[in-house]
Chains A and B, each alone.
Chain A
């Protein structure tokens, strides 16, 4: 009993200086002792600590732990992260559309003005008064020319009216004579 007590006292003494002076050998002895004997009164917390350390030693990593861990992580990534497929087609289609629209605009400009800037007629006159006189001459020309047509139309109209009157006279029955 006394020896046990002494053993315990010694162990406690060892335990007190455990962190400062213990080596691996002493530590192993303590672990073995706490594991094989019932825990002495007052050393329950220490016993739990050594029991924990003993268990930690038993929990060794297998050789393929890292491989399994990586596989698991990859699997979780696949399952949890939504898959996003990046396709270049939308970009290509938008570029095609832009190219076609640009083509239409360019073609429109070219078709509208196929001879380039040479067809762009600018003002013949710089002075508004000269431009006004020219405009007047041109409009009078158009007006006079249209009046010629109008004159012929009026003549035709008069001829047509006269023809109707004459034919009307010829076809009108003489009521008095009948």
Chain B
């Protein structure tokens, strides 16, 4: 009886821990079959293959260095959707209180950006970005050992809109589908 009680207690402790990890996966699964969104997933196995990519460009080298300790990423992106702001708020409510610390909130025109991190032992292990506007919604997560300085430095020289990169990705994705 004592063992059963202990086991149940362990189970109850484990449930929230697993639930935290599951928040993003659950969110991704709900958009998995929605064709209005571009879905991208790059696993740690693929990240390990990036080391084989040869590049002599200094910027590329800098980029490879920035992603060298990443273990994976997941993206859901939609820029022609209905009620993007509602989805943005819904996503914020979903991740709220699930172990994420707020890093930064940015409001740029009609776009809202929310950056959240998960930290373990002084190391950022996950970076989550939720962006939403009138007809846009983007959710991105990076896993692994994240160096924010290196990541922010990547686009510091560029003077193009942040989401232009994603639009390019979306166009490529649709082109591939066709």
Contact = CB atoms under 8 A, between A and B. Distances in A.
A137 B165 contact: yes
Of A93, A119, A137, A143, the most chain B CB neighbours within 10 A belong to A143
Contact of B113 (A101, A135, A149): A149
Contacts, number: 160
Contacts of A85: none
B93 interface: no
Interface string A103-134: 11001100111110011011111001101111
Nearest to B3: A97
Interface stretch (B81-89, B118-126, B148-156): B148-156
Contacts of B163: 141, 144-145
Interface in B123-149: 127, 129, 131, 138, 140, 142, 148
A119 B25 contact: yes
Contacts of A125: 42, 46
Contact of B53 (A129, A134, A138, A150): A129
Contacts of B69: none
Given A144-B155, A147-B155, A138 B22 contact: no
Given A112-B22, A132-B53, A138 B75 contact: yes
A114 B42 contact: no
A141 B67 contact: no
A135 B19 contact: no
Contacts of B46: 123, 125, 128, 131
Contacts of A135: 42, 47, 50, 67, 73
Nearest to A110: B18
A137 B168 contact: yes
B102 to A, nearest CB: 12
Contacts of B160: 144
Contacts of A129: 53
A128 B67 CA distance: 14
A23 to B, nearest CB: 80
Contact of A152 (B19, B66, B106, B127): B106
8 contacts: A93-B3, A100-B3, A107-B15, A121-B74, A131-B46, A138-B169, A142-B129, A146-B104
Interface of B: 3-4, 7-8, 10-11, 14-15, 18-19, 21-22, 25-26, 28-29, 32, 39-43, 45-47, 49-50, 52-53, 63, 66-67, 73-75, 104-106, 108, 113, 115, 127, 129, 131, 138, 140, 142, 148, 151-156, 158, 160-163, 165-166, 168-169, 172
Interface of A: 93, 96-97, 100-101, 103-104, 107-108, 111-115, 118-119, 121-125, 128-129, 131-150, 152
